[in-house]
Amino acid sequence: MKAALAAIQLILVGAIAWGGGVSEAAAGSTQLAGEVVVYTAASLTEAFTSIGNLFMKLHPRTEITFNFAGSQKLAQQLALGAPADVFASADVKQMQAAQRSGRIADDGPRIFAHNRLVAVVNIDPTHTVSRLVDLSHSGLKIVLAADTVPVGSYTREFLAKAARDPAYGTAFRDGVVANTVSLEENVRAVLNKVALGDGDAGIVYSSDIDSVSAAKVREIDIPDALNSIADYPIAPITDSKNPKSAAAFVKLVLSPAGQKILAAYGFIPAVQKAQ
């Protein structure tokens, strides 16, 4: 599975690089060199790894190093002065936190992708969930992300909206809260625990479901009216030691090639093709 995924990634990156669309970005690549440290929200792990590979292909003298973690943790590390060149956050709040600590310019952040919440249930039907409303059935084990994690705060928003919707009501929200057995520290831990079957259900981003977990979990859609559409901002770090390469990386993420990769990993592209 993993090998297949890696192969797809390679083909994808190769095809995009080969097929042009980034030819103007490739021009002048000879000047860019050195390490670019990209602080990246955990939910972007695969998509950004792929974009990073493309970047290094276009600029062979550069080296992309990722720090994947929950956005709140990355913002905290940035506030404490951790060296970095680019920050890609899973929500605007954590980007603002990084701005407050003076590491990101006021006009730095650009929204580069959107994501939506989806409920996942273990494929093995030992539980009773077939529709979204079933998540409040008593006795279920639900794994959520902690409120400190962006996906966790979007989940709270979803529960609040559901509580106001007569089709779900406060009983639904309270049932889900009562069923919650763990508040995980990042979104991948939520998915893994549902995939392993220790949790019956969880709430993650639709982009998190890769080919590996798709075999072990089933998705249940959360309707638009209740869903919280996550905005992903990206920005270069003001005190970057490699500002040119950092700017080029941000540009690649916002470029059609970068947006195509993000879409391939289940994100909703945020930059119009017209640009």
Q: What residue ranges bind other proteins (CB under 8 A)?
A: 70, 72-73, 76, 124, 141, 143, 146, 148, 180-185, 189, 193, 196-199
Contact at 8 Å (CB) between 258 and 265? no
Contact at 8 Å (CB) between 180 and 155? no
Residues contacting residue 26 through CB under 8 Å, at least 6 positions apart: 58
3-state helix, strand, coil in the chain (%, to 5): 45, 20, 30
> Is the CB of 144 or the CB of 253 nearer to other proteins?
144
Per the DSSP assignment, residues forming a β-bridge with 237 are: 104
> Is the CB of 141 or the CB of 173 nearer to other proteins?
141
> Cβ 275 to other proteins, closest distance in Å?
35
Per the DSSP assignment, residues forming a β-bridge with 241 are: none
> Cβ 253 to other proteins, closest distance in Å?
25
> Cβ 196 to other proteins, closest distance in Å?
6
Helix (H/G/I), strand (E/B), else coil: 41: strand
Could you report how far apart the first and last alpha carbons of the chain are, in Å?
36
> Is the CB of 25 or the CB of 189 nearer to other proteins?
189
Query: Nearest CA to 115 among 41, 198, 194, 218?
Result: 41
> Is the CB of 151 or the CB of 261 nearer to other proteins?
151
> Is the CB of 76 or the CB of 227 nearer to other proteins?
76
> Is the CB of 62 or the CB of 72 nearer to other proteins?
72
> Cβ 21 to other proteins, closest distance in Å?
38
Query: Nearest CA to 200 among 154, 137, 147, 148?
Result: 137
CA angle 113, 114, 116 (to 5 degrees): 150
> Cβ 146 to other proteins, closest distance in Å?
6
> Cβ 124 to other proteins, closest distance in Å?
8
> Is the CB of 124 or the CB of 174 nearer to other proteins?
124
> Cβ 216 to other proteins, closest distance in Å?
10
CA angle 111, 115, 118 (to 5 degrees): 165
Residues contacting residue 157 through CB under 8 Å, at least 6 positions apart: 228
